[in-house]
Amino acid sequence: MDGSVLARIAAIIFVSVAITAAVMETGREEEGQVVRPPLVAAPEVDGLRAEQRRCQELGEAAASDPDCLAVWAETRDRFLGRDTGSDEAGGE
């Protein structure tokens, strides 16, 4: 074997050892470090959501139900970012 082949083999061995060491280091946890699971926020209870479900279950009858019409108006206002207190005076 001549010198260039030995240099290539040495380089390949060096790179493989470096990759192995890097993989082992990233998989190791620090001693004394506490690993905590990510926090999951509890969903807020939204009465509007429950009313939307009720109106959905009514089907076609919801189109004539005044409560469902009010729920849909509130949903529309929330979606559009309107202030629900100031638009009820007939400003549409």
One digit per residue, the tens of pLDDT, for the chain of length 92 reads: 688 899 999 999 999 999 998 888 887 666 666 667 777 766 666 788 889 999 999 999 999 999 999 999 999 998 888 876 654 544 44
3-state DSSP helix/strand/coil % of the chain, to nearest 5: 65, 0, 35
Q: Where are the domains of the chain?
A: 47-87
d(CA 36, CA 33): 9
* pTM of the complete model: 0.42
To the nearest 10°, report the CA torsion of 32, 33, 35, 40: 130
